[in-house]
Amino acid sequence: MNKERNICIVGLGLLGGSYAMGLTDAGYTVTAVDVRPEAIRYALEKGIIAAGAVEGFAPLLAGADAVVLGLYPHALVDWLRNNQKHLKPGALLTDVCGVKSGVVEEIQGFLRPDAEFIASHPMAGKEVSGVEHADCAIFKLANFIIVPTEKNTPRGLAFARGLAETLGFAHIAQLTCAEHDKMIGYVSQLTHAIAVSLMNANDNTHLAEYTGDSFRDLTRIAKINENLWSELFFLNKENLIAEIDQFSASLEGLKRALVENDETELKRLFVQSTARRRLFDKKREAR
């Protein structure tokens, strides 16, 4: 990111706001576009951005070397289609979307030839939204995934990697769109589906009076943005359905061990789970 010093954030949500905060702290000139005047006002007052607008934002885009699109998938595609005419020639663009199917190919199909879209996915977040909760510390232990296609250039790849390094992500990986969406169906979407299902399985209003850490940990992500996550689930539904089927089979295997009083199998499942979790922890600690 040596040449891309002026960066415009479109969508000052939690991620967009945290990007803006981190980039400003790193010495970049950051501007922003958002539909909420209060978001722009807050970001200006806190020094998170140098300038921002709700309307009349064409000059901000025209002055940006790079644009980070912090929008929901469908809104991102529509917004860029309508506003790409304002982009600076040679502008680089990236996103924060949790699904690439239905986003990357469509954008690269209509984007101006003098601009480049390099998809990426910051694997970070909180159960809150808005620039008011921006915190670039959420990137410190997080993964960053670059999702290139044949239409991307070495400059685009270098920009995406430089962005992740500047923001302080712990690990940077590279996947194809298909690999990304299959992986995300398991590690992110399935986990959210399980948390939502667990929370909806019992409507006991007194749960908080006697549950422990295990229930709180497992259902932390059940407090979910219904608009964003319904988009993500539907855009990746084939992968997510396959992961739900696989998880259901695994849970059914544990149930069968109980029904058949198969203590040996139940313990085997516990030992396997423990070993896999230890390996997961070891790999994270080694980074």
pLDDT at position 2, please?
63
Cβ neighbours of residue 137 closer than 8 Å, sequence gap 6 or more: none
The residue count for the chain: 287
Q: What is the pLDDT of residues 225-248, one digit of tens each?
A: 999 999 999 999 999 999 999 999
Q: What is the pLDDT of residues 12-69, one digit of tens each?
A: 999 999 999 999 999 999 999 999 999 999 999 999 999 999 999 999 999 999 999 9
Q: State CA 211 to chain mean position distance.
A: 30
pLDDT at position 287, please?
67
How many whole angstroms separate alpha carbon 278 and alpha carbon 272? 10
CB 162 within 8 A of CB 3: no
Q: State CA 11 to chain mean position distance.
A: 13
Task: Look at the alpha carbons of 227, 189, 140, 121 in this order and tell me if their dihedral is positive or negative.
Answer: negative
How many whole angstroms separate alpha carbon 69 and alpha carbon 15? 10
CB 168 within 8 A of CB 141: no
**H-state helical runs in the chain:** 14-25, 37-45, 58-62, 73-83, 104-110, 154-167, 177-184, 191-200, 213-218, 226-235, 237-259, 263-286
Which strands make up the sheet holding 29-33, listed edge to edge? 51-53, 29-33, 6-10, 66-69, 92-95, 116-117
CB 86 within 8 A of CB 62: yes
Per-residue pLDDT of the chain (287 residues; tens, 9 = 90+): 667 799 999 999 999 999 999 999 999 999 999 999 999 999 999 999 999 999 999 999 999 999 999 999 999 999 999 999 999 999 999 999 999 999 999 999 999 999 999 999 999 988 778 999 999 999 998 999 999 999 999 999 999 999 999 999 999 999 999 999 999 999 999 999 999 999 999 887 777 777 888 888 899 999 999 999 999 999 999 999 999 999 999 999 999 999 999 999 999 999 999 999 999 988 777 76
pLDDT at position 209, please?
78
| pTM for this predicted structure | 0.91
DSSP state of 273: H
CB 27 within 8 A of CB 141: no
CB 23 within 8 A of CB 6: no
Helix (H, G, I), strand (E, B) or coil at 233: helix
pLDDT at position 1, please?
67
Which amino acid, residue 276?
R
DSSP state of 187: I
Q: What's the count of helices (H) and strands (E) in the chain, helices before strands?
A: 12, 9
How many whole angstroms separate alpha carbon 270 and alpha carbon 259? 16
How many whole angstroms separate alpha carbon 23 and alpha carbon 31? 10
